[in-house]
């Protein structure tokens, strides 16, 4: 990675830490996650189940809501602001490549996303402490769940970065990425409308819900990893093309 | 330092730059003049690697722009029109970030940033948020940013736009002093600025270069629109008759002594009033002892060349 990339990354991540919007999101996500975790623990209180609290936590509505809502808001200003303020010209006339810029913005946002979800590990620790470790932590499923959270974050962030590169307006960027992410997410529910096993299998291939179900069970499916990594690469490549195309038209 | 050959830039259907060729030698300060929409900013954006060119050759500091774009950008400092800046950063942080981005090591930065801030007169606002600075200071921060990596070439797009007269003076003197150590290409509408700072001027109109020469030579290209005349005639009568001539826009008395009047007759744009004035003088039988066309000002040259 070139030096320019690291310099940009430092600034991008730093600007998240300095932005009020990021802290507002952090605040609300913490509250929602807290409520969500309480509900999960509550579900376990009602009866013995054969899933652990984390496995429930990562599959209920609140979790998906957080992931789908936050990423568009985090990423909306990434390029849109640069276009609006005119600083894109300042950036692109420095000795940096398009990829330096795209990757720095991507990893800056992803870094903050990771920061958003990191505190949930504390919930698990607290839970273990409160229950005196009655059930040992199922490291396989838990680590896989977090891995999927990261993969989801990568794909959705890359969609957000792409949407931001398309427009000067933060609102349009947010709505565009939200629409794309929601469509992708709800496609996974199509599997409920059909019984043909091959169709179901096809939909399950890109169904986020199914991916989480698989990983939460402790099953590592490398096809899932490939789907998210290649999807991320696609949207980042599209972003780089958009940047180049915008300069042709300027 | 800059060699541009047959540079063309086409947008969807519109050719903004129509095959221009010009050079800027090392150490020169060259003014890029033209009406709005002539293609100045477009050309500058191409030279700085921001816009891709449609065809032509550009070499900057010995590097080809297409193949060696990164190297070109390392050796060029650019200040875009309207000086875009990151308003949420502090001046010193911004300059340190930009210096690092342009490849300076921390060791260099620690010396270079304070030097550049002092040179551009922004050291007093080093800790302030850029968003809280006045336009004059922002322009100077933009200039400091262009300078921070000590580039051989500075490209400044309308560096004094929107400044008040005091600020303009400061920036102009700064640019002039920078011209002693760097090659500078600046674009502007303000003609006196070019006369004050630049060695040469390139006049561009509608995507084509109309003229590219030293200011001296440019003024010889176009004839001044002002005709100086010394005649012996009654004042009111002379003024009235001269003003009555169709091509004459204005006639003013510069000096009056012993019945001799030294008059300046301004022609209407594009007009040559020598014959009509000569005919009038002969008809009225006014003794004549001076008949001279003044030296063209840059404004005359500009208007003449960009009229069409």
B131 DSSP 8-state letter: G
pLDDT value, residue A31: 93
pLDDT value, residue A209: 87
pLDDT > 70? residue A1: no
% of chain A exceeding 90 in pLDDT: 56
* Neighboring chain A residues of B11 at a CB cutoff of 8 Å: 249-250
Kindly give the confidence (pLDDT) of every residue in chain B, 308 residues in length, as a single tens digit, with 9 standing for 90 and above: 888 988 888 887 888 888 899 899 998 999 998 888 888 888 999 999 888 888 899 999 889 988 888 899 999 999 998 899 999 899 999 999 999 999 999 899 999 999 999 988 899 999 999 999 998 899 999 999 999 999 999 999 998 888 888 888 888 888 989 988 999 999 987 888 888 888 899 988 888 888 888 887 777 766 667 888 888 888 888 888 888 888 888 888 888 888 888 888 888 766 778 888 888 889 989 899 888 887 777 777 787 777 76
Nearest CA in chain A to B79: A90
CB A64 within 8 A of CB A185: yes
B105 touches chain A (CB under 8 A): no
pLDDT > 80? residue A93: yes
Q: List Cα–Cα distances, B110 to A82, A215, B83, B125, B292, in angstroms.
A: 27, 50, 24, 17, 60
| C-alpha span between B77 and A247 (Å, rounded) | 19
Query: What is the average pLDDT across A152-171?
Result: 95
pLDDT tens profile A32-88: 999 999 888 888 888 777 778 888 888 888 899 999 999 999 999 999 999 999 999
pLDDT greater at residue A203 or residue A148: A148
- Cβ within 8 Å, pair B84-A8: no
| C-alpha span between A174 and A163 (Å, rounded) | 7
pLDDT greater at residue B35 or residue A9: A9
DSSP states along B46-114: HHTTSSPPSEEEEEETTEETTT-HHHHHHHEEEE-TT----TTSBHHHHHHHHHHHTT--HHHHHHHHH
- Provide φ and ψ at B84, rounded to 5°: -70, 140
- Facing residue for B50 by CB, picked from A11, A15, A89: A89
Chain centroid to Cα A37, Å, comes to 19
pLDDT > 90? residue A134: no
Tokens in use for A2?
């070139």
> To 5 degrees, how large is the angle CA B185–CA B191–CA B197?
50
pLDDT value, residue B222: 67
List of residues 6+ apart from B61 with CB closer than 8 A: B1, B71, B72, B75, B76, B152, B153
Q: Beta-carbon neighbour count of residue B288 at 10 Å?
A: 15
Pick the closest to residue B142 from B164, B158, B166 (CA basis).
Answer: B158
pLDDT value, residue A148: 94
Nearest CA in chain B to A86: B84
- Cβ within 8 Å, pair A90-B84: yes
| C-alpha span between B27 and B23 (Å, rounded) | 12
Q: Which residues pair with A236 in a beta bridge?
A: none
| C-alpha span between A100 and B78 (Å, rounded) | 20
| C-alpha span between B279 and B261 (Å, rounded) | 18
List of residues 6+ apart from A22 with CB closer than 8 A: A16, A74, A112
% of chain A exceeding 70 in pLDDT: 99
Nearest CA in chain A to B73: A95
Q: How far is A5 from chain B (nearest CA, A)?
A: 9
A window 98-137, beta carbon within 8 A of B: none
| C-alpha span between B140 and B82 (Å, rounded) | 12
CB B274 within 8 A of CB B293: yes
Q: Which residues of B138-149 are buried (b: 16+ CB within 10 A; e: fewer)?
A: bbbbbbbbbbbb
Tokens in use for B240?
């009235």
- Provide φ and ψ at B33, rounded to 5°: -110, 150
* Neighboring chain A residues of B99 at a CB cutoff of 8 Å: none
Side-chain-side CA neighbours of A85 within 13 Å: the count stands at 18
Q: List Cα–Cα distances, A23 to A33, A73, A75, A185, B80, in angstroms.
A: 15, 12, 14, 26, 33
pTM: 0.85
Complex ipTM more than 0.90, yes or no: no
- Cβ within 8 Å, pair B85-A87: yes
């Amino acid at each position: 990675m070139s030096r320019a990339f690291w310099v940009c990354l430092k600034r991008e991540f730093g600007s998240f830490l300095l932005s009020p919007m990021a802290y507002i999101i952090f605040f609300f996500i913490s509250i929602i996650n807290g409520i969500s975790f309480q509900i999960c623990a509550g579900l376990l209180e009602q009866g013995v189940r054969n899933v652990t609290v984390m496995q429930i936590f990562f599959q209920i509505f609140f979790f998906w809501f957080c992931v789908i809502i936050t990423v568009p808001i985090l990423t909306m200003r990434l390029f849109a602001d640069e276009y609006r303020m005119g600083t894109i010209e300042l950036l692109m006339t420095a000795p940096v490549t398009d990829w330096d810029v795209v990757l720095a913005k991507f990893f800056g946002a992803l870094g903050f996303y990771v920061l958003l979800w990191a505190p949930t590990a504390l919930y698990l620790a607290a839970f273990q402490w409160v229950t005196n470790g009655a059930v040992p932590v199922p490291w396989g499923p838990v680590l896989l769940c977090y891995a999927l959270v990261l993969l989801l974050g990568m794909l959705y962030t890359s969609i957000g970065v792409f949407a931001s590169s398309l427009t000067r307006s933060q609102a349009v960027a947010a709505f565009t990425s939200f629409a794309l992410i929601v469509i992708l997410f709800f496609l996974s529910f199509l599997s409920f409308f059909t019984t043909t096993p091959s169709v179901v299998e096809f939909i399950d291939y890109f169904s986020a819900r199914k991916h989480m179900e698989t990983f939460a069970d402790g099953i590592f499916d490398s096809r899932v990893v490939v789907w998210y990594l290649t999807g991320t690469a696609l949207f980042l490549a599209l972003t780089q093309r958009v940047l180049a195309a915008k300069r042709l038209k300027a | 330092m800059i060699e541009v050959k047959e540079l063309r830039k086409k947008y969807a259907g519109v050719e903004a730059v129509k095959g221009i060729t010009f050079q800027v030698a090392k150490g020169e300060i060259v003014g890029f003049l033209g009406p709005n929409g002539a293609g100045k900013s477009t050309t500058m954006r191409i030279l700085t690697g921001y816009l891709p060119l449609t065809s032509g050759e550009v070499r900057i500091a010995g590097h080809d722009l297409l193949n060696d774009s990164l190297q070109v950008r390392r050796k060029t400092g650019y200040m875009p029109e309207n000086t875009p800046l990151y308003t949420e950063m502090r001046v010193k942080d911004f300059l340190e970030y930009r210096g690092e981005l342009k490849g300076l090591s921390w060791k260099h930065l620690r010396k270079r940033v304070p030097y550049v801030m002092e040179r551009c007169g922004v050291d007093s606002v080093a800790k302030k948020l850029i968003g809280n600075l006045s336009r004059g200071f922002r322009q100077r921060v933009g200039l400091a940013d262009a300078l921070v990596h000590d580039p051989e070439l500075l490209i400044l797009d309308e560096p004094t736009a929107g400044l008040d007269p005091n600020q303009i003076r400061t920036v102009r003197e700064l640019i002039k002093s920078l011209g002693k150590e760097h090659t500078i290409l600046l674009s502007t509408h303000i003609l006196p600025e070019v006369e004050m700072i630049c060695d040469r001027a390139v006049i561009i109109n509608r995507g084509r270069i109309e003229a590219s020469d030293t200011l001296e030579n440019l003024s010889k290209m176009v004839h001044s629109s002002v005709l100086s005349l010394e005649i012996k005639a009654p004042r009111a009568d002379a003024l009235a008759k001269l003003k009555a001539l169709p091509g004459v826009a204005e006639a003013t008395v510069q000096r009056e002594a012993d019945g001799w009047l030294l008059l300046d007759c301004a022609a209407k744009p594009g007009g040559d009033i020598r014959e009509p004035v000569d005919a009038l003088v002969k008809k009225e039988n006014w003794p004549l002892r001076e008949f001279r066309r003044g030296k063209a000002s840059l404004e005359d040259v500009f208007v003449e060349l960009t009229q069409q």
